[in-house]
Amino acid sequence: EDLEQQIEKNGDYGRPAYRLNNIRKLLDQGFSFEELVSHFYSDPLFASLVDGINKDLDKAEVIEQLIAQANQKSQLNALLELARQYNPAKYEEHEPYYNWAVACEKAAEELKSHFRPEFLNRLDDIIYFHPLSEDHLRQILDLLLKSEFSLLKAQNLELQVTNPAKNWLLKQNDHPEWGARPLKRLIQRYIREPMADFLLKENPGANTTLTVKVKNGGLVFEAK
């Protein structure tokens, strides 16, 4: 039984909003078996996802299970972003991966099942938003970090966040399908609160630069 049949049994209108054959080609042609294991199985984002995958299967079966698990846990977007990060050339070669027409049809069906026609007829238009890519999330992260820069600037301090630190923050986002909302909580948890503790403990002088780096699997602050 293939994945499309599984989706149909689950009542997902029998038509996935992803172009699964393109995703299969990307994973098959873009990665060796060893790379699939090292890149996808070892990534923290997929720690819970890969628990149900038998790593003793051959490459084609592993790819099928990886896609099925990602689809079941609504992490196909994250799977595609990880593939794009490791092999952007192959990612572009096998695009598109989304069937937006089908996705919009599904959304329309959901609207009809939840709202009366009288209400829907009052709407001038219905706008469908595409999921945010990793590039979008990175740009939003940069914008959110500017407020942290401003807080320190008011105290005659400067804050710098290295690119590896930004990458680390983005990887802590366990729900990229939720968009940018989790990023605020991540900044609060990993930047603002630890930074407040660091300032109280170290009491750096004016014109000090605080740099956020990755060290031993986490973020650290250095003052210069």
Q: What CATH class has 134-223?
A: mainly alpha
- Phi/psi for 164 (5° steps) reads -60, -35
Residue 15 confidence class, pLDDT cut points 50, 70, 90: very low
Domain(s) of CATH 1.10.8.60: residues in the chain: 134-223
Minimum mean pLDDT range among 2-11, 47-56, 125-134, 184-193: 2-11
- Return the amino acid letter for 215: K
pLDDT tens column, 91-144: 888 888 877 777 777 778 888 888 998 998 998 888 877 667 777 888 999 999
Residue 165 confidence class, pLDDT cut points 50, 70, 90: very high
Owner of token pair 């301090």: 157
- Predicted local confidence at residue 45, as pLDDT: 61
- Predicted local confidence at residue 162, as pLDDT: 94
> Is the pLDDT higher at 156 or at 51?
156
- Return the amino acid letter for 75: Q
- Predicted local confidence at residue 62, as pLDDT: 80
pLDDT at 173 over 90: no
pLDDT tens column, 179-224: 778 899 999 999 999 999 999 998 888 899 999 999 988 999 999 8
pLDDT at 10 over 50: no
CB atoms within 10 A of CB 200: 8
